[in-house]
Structure 1
């Protein structure tokens, strides 16, 4: 492959420019133009975008488009000195030099041919993994299985360790978290070891499992971590791999059979129904793992109970939804009036709540706008992203279909074993586990 060319032989060209505030931008795809994935037209921090993978690195933020061809990231660099440690390894020396020239005022900007190194592929995969942890649209209603956060977390720990050149010792990079991820998800190591031992030795899954396990072990050793799970891992890696018998992933990664009960008052029926409808399910307004990602997960009913007017809200819960008290709420607006909030409690597989409506006694057919949010987390309502969310669902369905046949020798158009196209271990587990979806 010629320098400056991508895997299809096309030149990987980037645009380097300096903003009025001194930040230097590297646009990985010139077709993006001047639109920033990080800030809006007024220079404010942009709201989270379900179609972009974002990674906080030393001195900069990187972003890749999840939909379409993600060749090289766009970077917004706020500290060029810190970023120089990875710029050359991600984009090549010519781009690193152009960034420095922009930063010191020697250049107003340039179009430069990049020479991506192996770090570029690892960084793109790490960014996609963090995107999956945040935006994966798990839904019983849409038939999209959830990813096991512990399995994904351990692979993210391995990827973070591989991409350590992207990070430095400063404490402003939340994505530099290999040790924390291992500490949070180390309990899944035993299941991964058993999966590795049971997978055919010649399979791509066995190779990927061994690579992740060895990298996790190396990351834990570098961070000085210890514990029973890690000692078990090191012992398993030191011994020859046994010829195990195939194991059912449903046994290794069994989920609880039903949602746990939480405090929550069941909605009462009765009264006269004034109106029914569905609300907006904007994934950006609450953390992952709270709500089923389907557009039809949110419903409401307006009732007349004597002289009272009341709205009832029901929301299908995510399988991992917390059972402890959380301030998840529905934001309600009736007849273009002020916005109010309805507190929601979880009961079995639903979030639900109700509140009085300020409507005249004779009012019928109220116009209701309703959306979900988590106060303190919510960036505010944004434009309707229904088309984008449907494109994300199509993407994850394709990835799950690829994962389901990844190790079949007769699989058509077998995916590459590296890069963003290769399934994550969590996708392999989700695609082959007999879940009730």
Structure 2
């Protein structure tokens, strides 16, 4: 729940967007974002709890949830700003149940996008189906935030249930075992059943869910949580450097691992997961790029190579076991000695570019990435202790599963 006594400012920007904010929302990689009716909400993942920043582009649509999220005084201030009245004064945001649920939903979407799964750093990946079902439950819980518009990609609980229904049976078994976050499991399962019933979803998993909730097991059935959600990797970390082209090494280094430039599940999130080597083979100059692959995912990545800050050359990367690798000729005719080589990994067509965020964040946001790794380690440590589910931003079921599952992922 939003803490009492937090003031926000309601301002109308030059483009007509009405902004509700108590402070900045943080850099892109540390910002939880939720598309809702008539607005975008965002929370700073690395900051303390508080009301979200709202950028409202349709105040009429937003009025359906403003009062329930911020309280009546903020809703009235937004209405006044939409009418052109001056409103840039501190306005208290009231604590509400919807605020806590919305913050948790936003954080869940952040985890689905930015969770820094890394074999190198020892941070386990979150089971996508388990997280997806809890997001479905939270989306159903937060339906007041959404309407019938088609501009809200975060609004459909039914689609999430369909996509991740494979985890329903394991969640039922986990709940029946009375192990771990039992109350949280029951709350999620009941929300899923209600969402499925209201949207007309059917299927054997949903029938088993309904039966389990109607007739709970009289005696808990023991179960080992780890194997329920075991991740069976298709590789282990490679030893050495396959594909060594020989020749004389001119330079080598680690590249910036910018999480913004590719979707999750493709590259290990460790800071030094991307490396490169420049070689001389007679008169030829060659660059080799290697990126440690994440435990899941698959696509066609590319590397972007700049020499001494010049124009970027792009080379495709192919996945082999635990590595993405690529090799190409390198033009060093006019380069300094030694050359300054910058390498980035990206997904063509997805890549927003290194400066696409539009805010003041530096291209090298290494400190933010370190802070995020520290945050997820704290969350996993808390999940391993199975605390009671009494905080809106407490561990997700997927975090409990990751913390208690197999360490070898």
1:372 shift after superposition? 0.9
Match of 1:45 in 2: none
SS at match of 1:384: coil
Match of 1:55 in 2: 34
Match of 1:309 in 2: 285
Contact kept, 8 Å, 1:98 with 1:109, in 2: the verdict is: no
Distance of aligned partners of 1:220 and 1:366 in 2 relative to their CA distance in 1, 3 Å threshold: same
1:147 shift after superposition? 0.4
1:33-432 to 2 correspondences below 5 Å: 49-200=28-179, 205-259=181-235, 267-322=243-298, 326-360=299-333, 365-382=338-355, 383-407=363-387, 417-420=390-393, 422-432=394-404
Match of 1:19 in 2: 13
Contact kept, 8 Å, 1:266 with 1:352, in 2: the verdict is: no
Q: CA RMSD in A?
A: 2.0
Find the aligned partners of 1:111 and 1:26 in 2 and give their Cα distance: 10
Contact kept, 8 Å, 2:29 with 2:368, in 1: the verdict is: yes
For residues 170-199 of structure 1, what are the alpha-carbon distances to aligned partners after superposition, in whole Å with 9 as ceiling and x for unaligned?
A: 000001021111011001111111111112
Contact kept, 8 Å, 1:89 with 1:116, in 2: the verdict is: no
Find the aligned partners of 1:302 and 1:110 in 2 and give their Cα distance: 57
1:364 shift after superposition? 5.6
Find the aligned partners of 2:85 and 2:337 in 1 and give their Cα distance: 67
Find the aligned partners of 1:6 and 1:374 in 2 and give their Cα distance: 37
Number of residue pairs matched?
Answer: 398
SS at match of 2:35: strand
For residues 50-106 of structure 1, what are the alpha-carbon distances to aligned partners after superposition, in whole Å with 9 as ceiling and x for unaligned?
A: 111010000000011111212100100000000000000000111101100000112
1:363 shift after superposition? 7.8
| TM-score, structure 1 as length reference | 0.87
SS at match of 2:182: helix
Find the aligned partners of 1:50 and 1:362 in 2 and give their Cα distance: 33
Contact kept, 8 Å, 1:274 with 1:364, in 2: the verdict is: no
Bigger CA drift: 249-258 or 118-127? 249-258
Find the aligned partners of 1:239 and 1:122 in 2 and give their Cα distance: 28
Match of 2:358 in 1: none
Match of 2:360 in 1: none
| TM-score, structure 2 as length reference | 0.93
Distance of aligned partners of 1:241 and 1:362 in 2 relative to their CA distance in 1, 3 Å threshold: closer
1:380 shift after superposition? 0.9
Find the aligned partners of 1:362 and 1:286 in 2 and give their Cα distance: 29
Bigger CA drift: 151-160 or 239-248? 239-248
Q: List runs of 5+ in structure 2 lacking aligned partners.
A: 356-362
Q: List runs of 5+ in structure 1 lacking aligned partners.
A: 38-47, 408-414
Find the aligned partners of 1:281 and 1:125 in 2 and give their Cα distance: 27
Find the aligned partners of 2:221 and 2:131 in 1 and give their Cα distance: 24
Contact kept, 8 Å, 2:2 with 2:96, in 1: the verdict is: no
